[in-house]
Amino acid sequence: MIKVIRCCLLTALQEIKTWTENWRMAMLLLLMFVTVAEFCNNINDFSSRINEATNAFAVLPHLYNNQYFRLVIQFGIILMFSNAPFRNSNSLFCLIRTGYKKWCVGQLIYIVIASFIYTTLFFLLTIVCTVPTLGFSLSWGKTFSTLAQTEGLPLNIQYKIHLLYKPVDALLNTCLFLLMLSIFMGFLMFLLSTIFGRGAGTIVATSIVLVGLVPAFSSNPAIVARFSPCSLTQIALLDNSGISGYPTVSYAYIFFGISLILMATLTITIYSNRKIKHRIYAMEV
């Protein structure tokens, strides 16, 4: 068992090593920095004018619940996994040594690790980009409280988040939902690209992101939100009271949990039925 786990982890790490040679990752890192810096610069300017600190726990929840920045983050996930099913120059060698099943599990582990890194980097970037006015507090603070209650500002800070969550709770939920959405997208793109070929997963994942915009324009947004993975990651849409008809936080966690288990099981089953001797071919690089 230990050898199997070690083999799967080495396969995942082998994929991460390719990041240094991959232009997509350089583009993704630049996209992440520009996105966070643009949002935080506006926050820093406002904090400086009112001479108040920017609560580090409050930045990411509000950044992600802004429609424009959320789209950039979600398309960043698609960019990160757009080369699914992750066939590179080392794939044939890894497949011969490990077999399809272990290689598949390794790729799924890679998706989880990559998603964790992606989420963590976003949080760390919010800290780095708010250093000039950085502060830590268990309350929302004057900066975000004022922005949330002021209409007409381009940042669109949502006051509803302040009513439903404390800063640390909002941060933890946002990070967990972003992590699960990233894993969800990665698993889905890997599965669909395995079945239908490279590019299929990217097309479907892009459609899912666009469907996430529907609640903002739909006449019945609560129903759409229940079946839209991207909508379920918006803590401002979730309603634990159950009065509004929008899904609850628990519903969102259960939705992602069941979806991830089903996709991982189906993907592993597909690869378990493949035989190396029948499937050796020139890998796409």
Query: In angstroms, what CA-CA distances link 133 with 24, 34, 57, 59, 141?
Result: 32, 18, 13, 12, 12
Provide the token pair at 247.
């899904």
pLDDT of 262 over the 90 cut:
yes
pLDDT band at 281 (very low <50, low <70, confident <90, very high): very low
pLDDT of residue 147: 83
- Of 182, 229, 179, the closest CA to residue 81 belongs to 182
Provide the token pair at 55.
């609560």
pLDDT of residue 284: 43
pLDDT band at 246 (very low <50, low <70, confident <90, very high): confident
Instruction: Average the pLDDT over 36-48 and give the result.
Output: 88
Higher-confidence residue of 30 and 220: namely 30
Q: What is the mean pLDDT of the chain?
A: 84
pLDDT of 282 over the 70 cut:
no
Other residues' Cβ atoms within 10 Å of the Cβ of residue 3: 8
Instruction: Average the pLDDT over 112-139 and give the result.
Output: 91
Q: How far is CA 167 from the centre of its chain?
A: 20
pLDDT band at 283 (very low <50, low <70, confident <90, very high): very low
Q: What are phi and psi of 165, to 5 degrees?
A: -135, 155
Provide the token pair at 215.
């609640």
pLDDT of 64 over the 60 cut:
yes
pLDDT of 22 over the 60 cut:
yes
pLDDT of residue 278: 43
pLDDT of 258 over the 70 cut:
yes
pLDDT of 201 over the 70 cut:
yes
| 245-274 as b/e: b if 16+ CB within 10 A | ebbebebbeebbeebbeebbeebbeebeee
DSSP state of 27: H
pLDDT of 166 over the 70 cut:
yes
pLDDT of 204 over the 90 cut:
yes
pLDDT of 69 over the 60 cut:
yes
Query: In angstroms, what CA-CA distances link 64 with 87, 102, 110, 161?
Result: 31, 35, 24, 12
Only one residue has tokens 């232009």, namely 23
Phi-psi sector, 150: left (phi>0), alpha (psi -120 to 50), beta: beta
Beta bridge partners of 134: 54
Q: Are 258 and 61 in contact (CB under 8 A)?
A: no
pLDDT of residue 26: 85
- Rounded CA-CA distance 43/155 in Å is 9
Say what the pTM is: 0.89
